[in-house]
Amino acid sequence: MARTATIIGGGVIGGGWAARFLLNGWNVQVFDPDPQAERKINAVLANARLALPALSDVPMPPEGRLTFHDTIGEAVEGSEYVQESVLERIDLKKKVYAQLQQANPGVLIGSSTSGFKASDLQEGSPAPHNIIVAHPFNPVYLLPLSEVSGSPKNQPEVVAKTVQIMKDIGMFPLVLKEEIDAFIGNRFLEAVWREALWMLVDGVATTSEIDDAIRMGFGLRWGQMGLFETYRVAGGEAGMRHFMAQFGPALKWPWTKLMDVPEFNEALVDLVATQSDAQSGAYGIRELERIRDQNLIGFLRALKDRNWGAGKVLRAHDEARAVAFHEATDTGPKSQPLVMSHCQVLPGWIDYNGHMTESRYYFANSESVDAFLRLIGAGMEYVAGGHSYYSAETHIRHLGEAKLGDRLRGELQIISADEKRFRSFVRLMKGDECVATVEQLCLHVDMASGKTSPAAPDVWANLKAIADAHADLPLPEGAGRAVGHKK
């Protein structure tokens, strides 16, 4: 049964939270008095559907149900968790909490506040322990960080529950040891923002030049290593101590105006807005969001491939969700084709026609055959021992179309087998429709000699048991057919 979250406030951040929960299989109930809220959230959701699945290497869960409600009481009914993302007015937030806790007294409430401490948000609440900060970064559906900050009134189990919910939707919960205004991320950004405003006011640089300094230089390093690890590397072989000795004295130099704040007036607003419009005004906001998302996907996938930084969070989330799909595959011989894999057509799998690209049919077959090899005891541990099955021939037939979001199931039948080889036939099924078949001959190889050899006795016994169970199955339609053969 799907879990349920409530989103209060459907702006950029609330919409991002809604998308993050929905695409991870939660039902989402939204309250926002803005008559445009449904349109705005659906616009964010459309971008998220193109972006978040592209970071996954296992099928996304079935998307949850999105509903909009006229009152806070209706929106929080039956909800396990609330994410509040209303305006940064503490009186408004407290009013929302009061209504939430009256309608659903035990519900856990996380706030997207950018700066208020949990203890400030909890004042006057009959159940302060159920109000906590869960501060995200935009776009919420892609960036994993959630700063979790409680007060002494939040019991450890409340913090632990918040952390687990964040992990369940693929986020990285960073728990603050102590309450501070604006938490970690925004405290850091505030310092950078102030310095950037002074450079604008002093005429030192434009908005475009400041952004170029970040995105062409240190921003690329920060995205994978942060601040301190970046400086550790800058210290060379001598490390951080050498870096501190070399650059530490600069802390006394008058480089920055960090403690001074430029006057916030119309002139400053005009200066920033005019330059920003010149810099980015050629693109609409939705287009800028899609450009940003695609760039983030490329960067995050690179980190995921290397199991580094934010990529570690993505990989761990995949592994946790993959367990359910592995459990849905067959685990032993039976007298019908074995369900060996489940996959979903992801954004990166699509070609210029909007269909699954050819290489991904081979990938889907490989997922099925690899799972079969693990089943018979010829997985990676077997390969590490010096033996493996090599593909010798592969023949694919495209019988139907697979498009974005389609869920495919790999059903494998063993046509023939002996101690040195097996011939498999995989049907890639979309529901009851077969979209492709892949016939493959695999040879067992001694990797040291590079020659075929008999499989280990236990591997052969497992393979033979399945081959015997499939021996009486009819030869699949299309098996043995070469390219151009008539039906």
pLDDT digits (tens, 9 = 90+) for 61-75: 999 999 999 999 999
Examine the pLDDT at 197 and tell me if it is beyond 80: yes
Considering just the CA atoms, what is the radius of gyration of the chain in Å? 28
- Give ranges for CATH 3.40.50.720 in the chain: 4-183
The model's confidence at residue 263, banded by pLDDT at 50, 70 and 90, is confident
Alpha-carbon span 84 to 349, nearest angstrom: 35
Alpha-carbon span 76 to 8, nearest angstrom: 9
Examine the pLDDT at 425 and tell me if it is beyond 90: yes
Work out the mean pLDDT of the chain and round it to a whole number: 93
Give the pair of three-digit tokens for residue 112: 């997207």
**Distance spanning both ends of the chain, measured CA to CA:** 45
The mean-pLDDT minimum among 207-221, 279-293, 329-343 falls in 279-293
Examine the pLDDT at 207 and tell me if it is beyond 90: yes
pLDDT digits (tens, 9 = 90+) for 314-336: 999 999 988 888 888 999 999 99
Q: Quick one: pLDDT at residue 208?
A: 94
Examine the pLDDT at 35 and tell me if it is beyond 80: yes
Q: Quick one: pLDDT at residue 58?
A: 87
- Let me know: does 100 contact 76? Beta carbons within 8 Å: yes
Alpha-carbon span 68 to 41, nearest angstrom: 10
The model's confidence at residue 172, banded by pLDDT at 50, 70 and 90, is very high
Tell me, yes or no, if the pTM score tops 0.85.
no
- Give ranges for CATH 3.10.129.10 in the chain: 328-470
**Topology at the third CATH level for domain 4-183:** Rossmann fold (3.40.50)
Mean pLDDT, residues 437-459 taken together: 97
Q: Quick one: pLDDT at residue 64?
A: 97
The model's confidence at residue 420, banded by pLDDT at 50, 70 and 90, is very high
When comparing pLDDT for 192 and 483, which is higher?
A: 192
pLDDT digits (tens, 9 = 90+) for 230-259: 888 888 888 888 887 887 777 777 777 777
Examine the pLDDT at 487 and tell me if it is beyond 70: no
DSSP SS3 for 443: strand
Alpha-carbon span 351 to 116, nearest angstrom: 46
Alpha-carbon span 387 to 383, nearest angstrom: 5
The mean-pLDDT minimum among 60-74, 87-101, 342-356, 388-402 falls in 342-356
Beta pairing class for 66-69 and 27-31 = parallel
Q: What is the DSSP secondary-structure string of 79-143? A: -SEEEE---S-HHHHHHHHHHHHHHSTT-EEEE--SS--HHHHHTT-S-GGGEEEEEE-SSTTT-
- HSE of 466, CA atoms in CB hemisphere, 13 A: 28
Q: Which CATH superfamily is domain 328-470 in?
A: Hotdog Thioesterase (3.10.129.10)
pLDDT digits (tens, 9 = 90+) for 109-152: 999 999 999 999 999 999 999 999 999 999 999 999 999 999 99
